[in-house]
Structure 1
Amino acid sequence: MREPLRHRSFRLLFAAQCASFLGDAIFIVAIAFAVLQVTGSGAALGTVLAAGGAAMVVTFAVSGVWADRIPRVRIMVTSDIVRLASQSTLAALLLTDTARMWHLLVLNVVYSIATAFFMPARTALMPQLLTADHLVTANGLMGTAENLMWTTGWAAGGFLVAAIGPGWAIAIDATTFGASALLLLVMGGVPLPDRATDVGGGSFVSELRDGWREVRSRRWIWFTLATATGFLLMYEGPLQVVGPIVTKADYAGARSWGLMLAGAGAGAALGAVVAASGLLRRPMLVSMWLFLGVALVPALLLVQAPVAAVMAAMAIAGMSFGLFTPVWESALQGGVPSDKLARVSAWDWMCSLSGMPIGMALAGWLTEGVGREAVLAGMSIGTFLVCLAFLLEPSVRMIDAPGGPAGIGVSTRISAGSKD
């Protein structure tokens, strides 16, 4: 598992992402309670989060193309600098008690746009830093670090918000982007893949179409993206809104919410370690079964189960993600031509995340309209049905089977011509 860390560029990227992951986790807790502190409205919380999510989804339409045109490290550094500025501004407004809802909304949109430029660039950069036989391990290491940082950040975010307020928590988040930018600058530029230099004359629309052709020609890709859209619509998006509202009303507020999220992070970290270690012959298939248990989370919140019980359910949800993500990212990195990978990654993020802002907005409005109990019940039922459809799809079940798209257990690479 340590082999990728012997490469200097990967070590710097790894350290930069650890800093950024920690700050992002703190921010997720802080922004929710900042909006509730400023507005006291669940609908306002849903609107602010949905605006950021929608901006991110729209930006993915162009960010992947840019990441195939411009050196990826340059995009990532610029993204970090923009987020350093936006988070510093938001922290200052909160600390001076001058923040208004529109400040929160606009700055969250800026943050989300910058993040949308960062993600495809990072995904496409990985195969440039490491050989194909190290990608699964590297993605597992990155996933483990990400989830450990999320676990720490979520728990710390809850306690920071409760102890010193969301303004200071977001100020800490801002410093992590500064650290990430410095580490990436030390890494230096990484040239684009050879064939990427030939795409500069193509139009954005033609390049997006080219990326979409790569997606739709592989059933295992487009079905996974469709399922992810439904999952984020029914579970992840609404949970970002309903979770803080429920814990503020029925639990100990930010502390409880931070601990629950930390449970998810701990489970995800464990899942990523297992995926990277090779202990499971079919980590993707195991994750698909575990996804069925995610429906327990809103059900337990509905009955006001103890914090420990919700943490355990969220740990199961996290473990499913921890097992799934390294295999999925390795599948894309090995099965898509490197000069088109950022565009396909952008479609991955854009399609799968498109359900999140809708889920956030609906959850905020429905919580005030029909009550949080009805929203939680709908989340539980809808999540189970989406995850069941995912489990029953043959092309997805074969992703990590010998001879399947990912071929984990036989090879860490996917044949570029492997299509379902």
Structure 2
Amino acid sequence: MNYRNWKTAITAFLTAQMISLLGSSLVQYAIIWHITLTTSSGKMLTISTLCGFLPQILISLIAGVWIDRYNRKKLIMLADAAIAASTLLLAVAFLMGYRYNWALFIVLAIRSAGTGIQTPAVNAIIPQIVPQEKLMKINGINSTLSSLIMFLSPAISGAILTVASLEVTLFIDVITAAIGISITAAIYIRPYERTERREGSSLKEIGMGFSYLNKNHFIRKLLVYQVIILFLISPSAFLTPLMVSRTFGTEVWRLTASEMTYSLGMILGGLLITAWGGFSKKVNTTMAAGALYGVLMIGLGNAPQFLIYLSCNTLIGITAPCYNGPITVTIQEKVEPQMQGRVFSFMQIATSCALPLGMVIFGPLADMISIRILLTLAGAFVVSVSAAVWGLKYFNK
């Protein structure tokens, strides 16, 4: 494949995605905070969480087929446009006085479905722009930029909401989406050559994806490892705010510091994996980062002081890109282009299901067992699983 002018193309593409992500992140925080402040209802927050998760899971399978069947650049633009259109309609409805929570839930669901298409499409299209030997560096840069936006978004969204209404934030998202779509439209991305015959039924192509996964032992094992690890790390993903309030104090600044140190760690981790590139065998980088994540979970659970907790939390953030980046690059390198949409969708489903499933188990346990103990035990299991996978040469079989 001819990668002439790939640096210009990937710079423009990532710029478009980051502009769009900034608007989306601002709206995501603004909607959740609006629901929280206007209802103070756990039930409403639960509904909003489900609206943010379920559509993404449900659409992922068919999204994978679309990504492998149709023009990926156009799919990314259409998904972004659908999200922006729903946001615009919500802004207009709110301006006209129709300020209903069910409208917020519908928009959250549409945004979730759009993300279910856009995220795997972006991962699948990057190898069409970037030479294979540069994939780790570019994915590291992408991770760093995404983490930086996630680090800044809560502060920016909060600042906007203190001086303006929710509608202003919604309109900002529409504007950023329009800019992102315009930049993406101007980029030439060479289409990949589809070697498999296009099936008439999407169900058949989904079946082909599962068949491919069954035959590709390495990718299947990687998916299983991912599900197990994400299930085990769910206490650190969801329960740490509760642990902070129970152990160190209920001050808001402590919760803010916890979120910001993790995001800061992810920025540093993205820079690290970009500069370092990981081990020559990329899956070893993922396993090492997974084992280190487990050790740091134990550190979180046993931190005697809040400053030590924040240090462990920052280090956990650093391990995240070092764990996720090599997985993305491995799929981009080892999976045929015409199957990448479906494989990335399978990975997205695993991610979207494993963490909530972990919370179904660990959430109720947190009311019966100290969260410190849960973090320590789960971290020990993460270390054990990663060490066993490495020692038994799981990915070499």
TM-score normalised by structure 2 residue count: 0.81
What residue number does 1:187 align with?
187
8 A contact 1:272–1:319 mirrored in 2: yes
8 A contact 1:136–1:276 mirrored in 2: yes
What residue number does 2:223 align with?
222
Amino acid at match of 1:113: A
Amino acid at match of 1:86: S
Within 2, Cα distance between the matches of 1:162 and 1:244?
26
1:211-253: CA deviation from partner (whole Å, max 9, x where unpaired): 22343422541223322551475443x459969999xx9333x
* TM-aligned CA distance change 1:309 to 1:381, over 3 Å: closer
Amino acid at match of 1:17: Q
Deviation at 1:277, TM superposition (A): 1.2
Listed as ranges, the gaps of 5+ residues in structure 1 are: 400-404, 406-418
Within 1, Cα distance between the matches of 2:148 and 2:392?
27
Pair 1:287-2:289 in alignment: yes
8 A contact 1:155–1:258 mirrored in 2: no
Amino acid at match of 1:58: L
Within 2, Cα distance between the matches of 1:373 and 1:47?
25
1:112-151 alignment runs, 5 A limit? 112-151=112-151
Identity %: 16
What residue number does 1:213 align with?
211
What residue number does 2:272 align with?
274
Deviation at 1:264, TM superposition (A): 1.9
Deviation at 1:194, TM superposition (A): 3.2
Deviation at 1:26, TM superposition (A): 2.8
What residue number does 1:415 align with?
none
Amino acid at match of 1:222: L
Deviation at 1:60, TM superposition (A): 0.6
What residue number does 1:351 align with?
350
1:71-82 alignment runs, 5 A limit? 71-82=71-82
Within 2, Cα distance between the matches of 1:4 and 1:309?
48
Deviation at 1:75, TM superposition (A): 0.3
Residue in structure 1 matching 2:389, options 386, 394, 405: 394
1:259-314: CA deviation from partner (whole Å, max 9, x where unpaired): 543322221111111112127546434422331224666888xx9x75x6665443
What residue number does 2:198 align with?
200
Within 2, Cα distance between the matches of 1:100 and 1:244?
34
Report the secondary structure of 1:68's partner residue: helix
What residue number does 1:416 align with?
none
Within 2, Cα distance between the matches of 1:310 and 1:102?
39
What residue number does 2:66 align with?
66
* TM-aligned CA distance change 1:279 to 1:139, over 3 Å: closer
Report the secondary structure of 1:187's partner residue: coil
Deviation at 1:18, TM superposition (A): 1.6
Within 1, Cα distance between the matches of 2:349 and 2:381?
19
Within 2, Cα distance between the matches of 1:310 and 1:171?
38
* TM-aligned CA distance change 1:70 to 1:240, over 3 Å: farther
Report the secondary structure of 1:22's partner residue: helix
Within 2, Cα distance between the matches of 1:16 and 1:349?
22
Deviation at 1:177, TM superposition (A): 2.0
Pair 1:325-2:320 in alignment: no
Within 2, Cα distance between the matches of 1:227 and 1:88?
39
* TM-aligned CA distance change 1:164 to 1:286, over 3 Å: farther
Within 1, Cα distance between the matches of 2:378 and 2:96?
40
Within 2, Cα distance between the matches of 1:61 and 1:214?
14
Report the secondary structure of 2:337's partner residue: coil
* TM-aligned CA distance change 1:203 to 1:52, over 3 Å: same
Deviation at 1:319, TM superposition (A): 1.0
Within 1, Cα distance between the matches of 2:164 and 2:243?
21
8 A contact 1:48–1:105 mirrored in 2: yes
Choose 317-326 or 334-343, whichever is displaced more.
317-326
Report the secondary structure of 2:186's partner residue: helix
Deviation at 1:16, TM superposition (A): 1.1
Deviation at 1:342, TM superposition (A): 0.9
8 A contact 2:151–2:263 mirrored in 1: yes
Within 1, Cα distance between the matches of 2:207 and 2:292?
34
8 A contact 2:136–2:277 mirrored in 1: no
* TM-aligned CA distance change 1:235 to 1:207, over 3 Å: farther
Amino acid at match of 1:274: L
1:373-417: CA deviation from partner (whole Å, max 9, x where unpaired): 969568635742553354234259969xxxxx6xxxxxxxxxxxx
TM-score normalised by structure 1 residue count: 0.77
Report the secondary structure of 1:250's partner residue: coil
Report the secondary structure of 2:181's partner residue: helix
Amino acid at match of 1:392: A
Within 2, Cα distance between the matches of 1:243 and 1:118?
34
Deviation at 1:120, TM superposition (A): 1.5
8 A contact 2:60–2:345 mirrored in 1: yes
8 A contact 1:159–1:258 mirrored in 2: no
Report the secondary structure of 1:179's partner residue: helix
* TM-aligned CA distance change 1:206 to 1:101, over 3 Å: same
Within 2, Cα distance between the matches of 1:241 and 1:95?
35
What residue number does 2:22 align with?
22
Deviation at 1:45, TM superposition (A): 0.8
Deviation at 1:158, TM superposition (A): 4.1
Q: Give the count of matched residue pairs.
A: 385
What residue number does 1:408 align with?
none
8 A contact 2:231–2:357 mirrored in 1: no
Listed as ranges, the gaps of 5+ residues in structure 2 are: none
What residue number does 1:414 align with?
none
Report the secondary structure of 1:392's partner residue: helix
* TM-aligned CA distance change 1:39 to 1:391, over 3 Å: same
1:348-393: CA deviation from partner (whole Å, max 9, x where unpaired): 10122113455678899x6xxx997969568635742553354234
